[in-house]
């Protein structure tokens, strides 16, 4: 994560301005995932597959071209992972695919389809959510009065990320199916109903959080030390048996990346008058995050 973050920041540090969303947030998670899977960082196809699959997953308008590109990317990525699995079974390495190829459940090795599905889920789940969390956290820190304190003391980045996840969770909605009729808010949901649960609304419940619409890094009612565990009070990572297994990895990846970003570009700021525009339905975040900063000459960035 540190190496990838430094490479991405240094690529635009001398320019004085950049689109953080495009040049950092969108690229870092894919690099990290490629490293985990043992895939070369210069694989342009892998990056293109990621973008097409993410766009496909949010294609609620049913754009036929987006659907076609997403399905085509999914098929090409599946073929690519098939080849990677074959290579790791013949010659294991120290990457995640090799680990899965060697893993057993009750004495039975994982099948190729299970490993391939894991790779596809990892790309979609760990990529897009991290991308949006990076964008959202940077926007909050650059627009909030608390941002200067966090950037001066990067030990507070974990608290800032926790508050970002509470206030603006990258995943806005999860779905469930009722196992029996449920009485709720004066009405009844029948058995077998598909229910859209609004995480973002729950995270702003005024009965649970004081001034719920305010970004407050020092929030005492959020218990930030629990924010990345199954005991989290926000629901950005789900809850209970459905708590996200990648929560601690997300914490490490995002805080590490932002620590490097702010140390390299200490006067990072948003352009005057810029207001982030969040887009998306199930997942949501700003598509553009233009940033300005004092240029750092090549080779001088830390």
Instruction: Say how far residue 100 (Cα) sits from the centre of its chain.
Output: 23
Give a yes or no: residue 206 inside a domain.
no
Rounded CA gap, 85 and 92, in Å?
Answer: 9
Question: At 202, which helix (H) or strand (E)?
Answer: helix 199-202
Give a yes or no: residue 177 inside a domain.
no
Closest CA to 200 of 173, 233, 239, 232: 173
- Number of structural domains found in the chain: 1
Q: What is the mean pLDDT of the chain?
A: 91
Q: Which domain holds residue 152?
A: 2-170+243-292
Give a yes or no: residue 99 inside a domain.
yes
Per-residue pLDDT tens for 111-121? 999 998 888 88
Give a yes or no: residue 301 inside a domain.
no
Per-residue pLDDT tens for 82-101? 999 999 999 999 999 999 99
Which residues have C-beta within 8 Å of that of residue 136, sequence separation ≥ 6? 164, 168, 170, 278, 285, 286
Residue 58 has phi, psi (to 5 degrees) of -105, 15
Say which CATH number the domain at 104 has: 1.10.630.10
Rounded CA gap, 60 and 202, in Å?
Answer: 23
Q: Is the pLDDT reported for residue 298 higher than 80? A: no
Rounded CA gap, 201 and 250, in Å?
Answer: 22
Give a yes or no: residue 14 inside a domain.
yes
Give a yes or no: residue 198 inside a domain.
no
**pTM of this structure:** 0.91
Other CB atoms within 10 Å distance of the CB of residue 188: 12
Give CA torsion, residues 66, 69, 70, 72, to 10 deg: 160
Strands 194-198, 173-177: pairing is antiparallel
**Which residue has 């959020």 as its token pair?**
222
Per-residue pLDDT tens for 46-75? 888 888 988 888 888 889 999 999 999 989
Which residues have C-beta within 8 Å of that of residue 176, sequence separation ≥ 6? 194, 195, 197
pLDDT confidence bin for 236, thresholds 50/70/90? very high
Per-residue pLDDT tens for 146-203? 888 998 899 999 999 999 999 999 999 988 999 999 998 889 999 999 999 999 999 9
Per-residue pLDDT tens for 254-276? 999 999 999 999 999 999 999 99
Integer CA distances (angstroms), 17 to 6, 57, 78, 268, in order: 16, 30, 37, 9
Q: Is the pLDDT reported for residue 302 higher than 70? A: no
Radius of gyration of the chain from its Cα atoms, rounded to whole angstroms: 20
Give a yes or no: residue 218 inside a domain.
no
Give a yes or no: residue 192 inside a domain.
no
């Amino acid at each position: 994560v540190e190496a990838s973050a430094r490479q991405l920041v240094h690529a635009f540090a001398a320019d004085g301005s950049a689109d953080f969303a495009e040049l950092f947030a969108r690229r870092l998670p894919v690099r990290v995932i490629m490293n985990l899977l043992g895939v070369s960082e210069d694989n342009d196809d892998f990056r293109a597959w990621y973008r097409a699959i993410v766009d496909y997953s949010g294609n609620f308008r049913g754009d036929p071209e987006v659907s076609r590109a997403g399905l085509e990317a999914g098929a090409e990525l599946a073929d690519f992972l098939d080849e990677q699995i074959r290579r790791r079974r013949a010659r294991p390495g120290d990457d995640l695919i090799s680990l899965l190829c060697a893993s057993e459940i009750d004495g039975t090795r994982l099948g190729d389809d299970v490993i391939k599905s894991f790779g596809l889920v990892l790309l979609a789940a760990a990529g897009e959510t991290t991308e949006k969390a990076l964008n959202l956290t940077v926007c909050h820190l650059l627009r909030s009065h608390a941002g200067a304190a966090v950037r001066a003391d990067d030990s507070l980045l974990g608290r800032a990320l926790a508050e970002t996840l509470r206030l603006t969770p990258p995943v806005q909605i999860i779905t469930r199916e009722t196992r029996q009729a449920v009485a709720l808010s004066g009405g009844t949901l029948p058995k077998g109903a598909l229910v859209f649960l609004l995480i973002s609304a729950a995270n702003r419940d005024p009965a649970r959080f004081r001034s719920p619409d305010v970004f407050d890094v020092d929030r005492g009612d959020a218990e930030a030390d629990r924010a990345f565990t199954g005991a989290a009070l926000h629901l950005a990572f789900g809850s209970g048996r459905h708590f996200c297994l990648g929560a601690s990895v997300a914490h490490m990846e995002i805080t590490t990346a932002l620590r490097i970003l702010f140390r390299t570009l200490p006067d990072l700021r948003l352009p005057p008058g810029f207001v982030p525009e969040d887009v998306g339905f199930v997942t949501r975040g700003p598509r553009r995050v233009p940033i300005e900063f004092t240029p750092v000459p090549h080779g001088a960035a830390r």
